[in-house]
Amino acid sequence: MTSETSRQSCVVACAILLAALAATSAAAGRSAQPVRVLVVTGGHGYPTSFYTLFEQPDLVWDHATSHEEAFKGDLRAKYDVVVLYDMSQTLSDAGRKHFQAFVEGGKGLVVLHHAVVSYHDWPWYYELTGAHYWERPHGRTPASTYKHDEYVDVREMGAHPVTAAVAPVRLFDETYKGMWWSPRIRVLLTTDNPTSDGPLAWIAPHPRSRIVTVQLGHGAETHRHVAYRTLVRNAILWSAGRLSD
């Protein structure tokens, strides 16, 4: 090999190395950016301790105080994850379009507590979330029930990044029973409390989006508990693609 050939080979190798380092650096920069979260409330009261769930590392968040405000435009360029904590029954056609576009665009969704009560007349929604609480009888199905101030012993159903460092734990919260359940969900957390159906956190399968639903989350005792805070943060990071299975 001539010295000129050797020099050219070295130049090419250096160029490839620099390009690889640049790509790695860019990827690291992207992963180092905080997850952009839109938190949606409305239709149900809650303590302000709820807001502290999003004052955690790696998260930045905005707040929409109604579902119509949340989905008034295309969210895909602005947010990585939507967190639902609302309890809503109607959404405009435009709002539904923007909501569906966000999910179908591969963005993340985390559904907390009473958000499983939303949209009784929108099957797309409760198929999306993997379960549904019926406020009133639905056909031959009786209304679901809830119970305040229950001690809930939470256990893990197999290892998963969403539930890492969460269970086993006892929480003081509200339970739901008699809900509709999709047979396709993957249950992550469960309980044997008799006022509950059992599943407390689960993944609802979707071909493009990562979706986590958590039944727990009624009051300040839960919002401030380290295990619940970890669960919500993990769910957001996983739904944003920041945690691998």
| Alpha-helical regions (H) of the chain | 3-32, 67-70, 93-104, 123-129, 220-223, 226-239
Residues of the chain with pLDDT > 70, as a percent, come to: 87
* 19 CB-near residues (< 8 Å, 6+ apart): none
Q: Which pLDDT tens digit goes with each residue over 32-76? A: 799 999 999 999 999 999 999 999 999 999 999 999 999 999 999
CA atoms within 13 A on the CB side of 229: 16
Mean pLDDT across the chain: 90
pLDDT of residue 32: 78
Q: Which pLDDT tens digit goes with each residue over 91-112? A: 999 999 999 999 999 999 999 9
The whole-angstrom separation of Cα 173 and Cα 50 is 13
- pLDDT over threshold 60, residue 193: yes
Residue 55, SS3 per DSSP: coil
Residue 65, SS3 per DSSP: coil
Match domain 37-239 to its CATH number in 2.40.10.10, 1.10.10.10, 3.40.50.880, 3.40.50.2030: 3.40.50.880
Delimit the domains of the chain by residue range.
Answer: 37-239
- pLDDT over threshold 70, residue 12: no
pTM of the model: 0.87
